[in-house]
Amino acid sequence: MLLVAGSAGAADPVAPRTNSVADLSLEELINLKVTSVSRKEEMLYESPAAIFVLSNDDLRRSGATSVADALRLVPGLQVAAIDSGNWAVSARGFNSQFSNKLLVMIDGRTVYSPLFSGVYWDAQQVFLDDVDRIEVIRGPGATVWGANAVNGVINILSKSARDTQGGLLYGGGG
């Protein structure tokens, strides 16, 4: 059971946003913008890299419970559950528990941990309902993003604060 309570008394009406790629027209798909390839917003068709975008609607429909679980949908990424809470996420065959050749960012800020020499996926408390999209670049990106982007870049982009107003209550039974 899922109960969502919104905030009342919003001052200006906001046009509903579509989160599903299937709802977009061909022109809107062509004009889809990404920010992870060259550190600036650009059209997807103009980006000089192999990029895959997971929208919020894709995340919701997938039934994923964590970011690492959602990354199983991305072609070219290998995601393995080491145990009930630890994940190994890698690209291009370099698989280990701590992804040190794959740059992972949340809203453009790296989540690399020097303690583990990589990304500790359990420490990333990302609520999937607050994620707008996940942009994944397969292939080398070290010239633009730095040393940890040898095999690719994962950029987890949050929704704006305007889109996350209200309350959220989950319930279940069994």
**Domain 49-161 is found in CATH 1.10.287.110:** no
pLDDT digits (tens, 9 = 90+) for 78-129: 888 887 777 788 887 766 666 677 888 999 888 888 887 777 777 777 888 8
Q: N- to C-terminal Cα distance for the chain? A: 11
Which sequence spans correspond to the domains of the chain?
A: 49-161
| pLDDT at residue number 73 | 92
Q: Which of 157, 41, 160, 159 shows the shortest CA–CA distance to 105?
A: 157
* 5, containing H or E segment: strand 2-5
* Residue 9 pLDDT exceeds 50: no
Q: Average pLDDT for residues 130-139, to the nearest whole number?
A: 88
163, 17 in Cβ contact below 8 A? yes
Question: What residues pair up with 133 in beta bridges, in sequence order?
Answer: 55, 157
| pLDDT at residue number 134 | 93
Category of 7 on φ-ψ map: left (φ > 0), alpha (ψ -120 to 50) or beta:
beta
| pLDDT at residue number 74 | 92
Structure tokens at 110: 């790296």
Residue 38 pLDDT level (bands cut at 50, 70, 90): low
In whole angstroms, what is the distance from residue 17 CA to residue 13 CA?
Answer: 12
Residue 14 pLDDT level (bands cut at 50, 70, 90): very low
| pLDDT at residue number 132 | 92
In whole angstroms, what is the distance from residue 148 CA to residue 141 CA?
Answer: 9
Give the residue carrying structure tokens 């040393």: 147
* Residue 11 pLDDT exceeds 60: no
Residue 70 pLDDT level (bands cut at 50, 70, 90): very high
| pLDDT at residue number 2 | 38
| pLDDT at residue number 45 | 66
From the number of C-beta atoms within 10 Å of its C-beta (0-12, 13-18, 19+), residue 60 rates as: middle
Q: What percent of the chain has pLDDT over 90?
A: 9
* Residue 19 pLDDT exceeds 60: no
Which has more confidence, 148 or 14?
148
Structure tokens at 131: 């994620």
Lowest average pLDDT, out of 7-21, 83-97, 152-166, goes to 7-21
* Residue 27 pLDDT exceeds 60: yes
